[in-house]
Each structure stands twice: as C-alpha cells, then as structure tokens.
Amino acid sequence: MRVGLYPGTFDPITLGHIDIIRRAATLVDRLVIGVAINRDKGPLFDLEERLAMVEAESKYLSEKTGVEIVAHPFENLLIDCARDVGAQVIIRGLRAVADFEYEFQMVGMNRKLDDSIETVFLMADAQHQAIASKLVKEIARLGGEIEHFVPPPVKTAVLEKFNKR
C-alpha cells in the first residue's frame, strides 16, 4: 500500500490545498493529511477546528476517488510524522519559485534524516497559485471577499472568527 503524507498547518484549508489533496489522491492508496500543531504560528483556528475542516473537505474527495484520506495531527518532525503514519512519500504543494527554495532545503534535510522517504512536489493549479492561508485571513480580517479562495463552510468559519458575517 502506497501511503502519502501531505503536511501543513491548514489555517484555514483553502481551495489550493483541496486541489493538491485531490491530485495527491491519484498517486497513493492512502493519503494522510498531516495537520501541524505549530504553536509558533499562532493559528486563527485551534487544532480541533482545523482537523474538522480538513476532514469535512476531504470526505467528498475520499468518496469520489476511493482513496482513504485521513487527517492526522502532528507536532514532531515531519520525517518522524511520515514514519509514524507509514508514509513512503511526502507530498508538497508549490505555488511559486519562493516556495521551491524553502522546500528544496527541507527535502535535503529530510533526506539526511531518512533517505527512504521521497518527496513529491505538485505545482498548484494556475487558478490557485496566489492563494495562501495567511492572505485569506488578512483579506477576511480587513473585510474583503474570500469566497474565491476557500469552500463555503470554511468561509463561514473564517468570517465567524472575525465576527463579520
């Protein structure tokens, strides 16, 4: 069984994340969405809320593709999380060249820690390349429209956080 790990903070999950999840599901038999606890980032949503959003948005994709997609919280090293879930491949989404530079360094470090786990990069679809959770939150906080960046239930959750229904 090919197991893939797609890690991130998912604060909140965006249409770009969902596109990567959909495409990653074609590459593996089981896809684990690693939801990083990452207290240093000061997430808008707590871990339980982010897990619930990831699970809700992944459910349809799992049913449609027949691939098991599960959310898994983690706070340890990414490579340790990959080992914990039995992943042979780490899936990373790339939006721009700036993403690649950081990810290139991460791959090098992860290969030193465990060279049996591969990393696969999926380029963001052109319509999703500009989407970043950080920007979605900033737009919402300032009263802008986010419906083109997140699914409707996520939009509602983000606006509730900022009390802007």
| From 2, 41, 59, 64, the catalytic residue | 41
| From 17, 30, 92, 155, the catalytic residue | 17
- ω into residue 12 within 30 of 0, thus cis? yes
Instruction: Let me know if 41 is a catalytic residue.
Output: yes
Instruction: Let me know if 95 is a catalytic residue.
Output: yes
| From 72, 95, 141, 161, the catalytic residue | 95
| From 22, 30, 58, 133, the catalytic residue | 133
Instruction: Let me know if 128 is a catalytic residue.
Output: no
Instruction: Let me know if 72 is a catalytic residue.
Output: no
∠ CA 94-32-104, nearest 5°, is: 30
The H-or-E segment that residue 43 falls in is none
Residue for token digits 């820690």? 113
Contact predicate 94/100, CB 8 Å: yes
Q: Where are the alpha helices (DSSP H) in the chain?
A: 15-24, 47-65, 78-85, 97-113, 133-141, 152-161
Which residues form the catalytic set?
17, 41, 95, 133
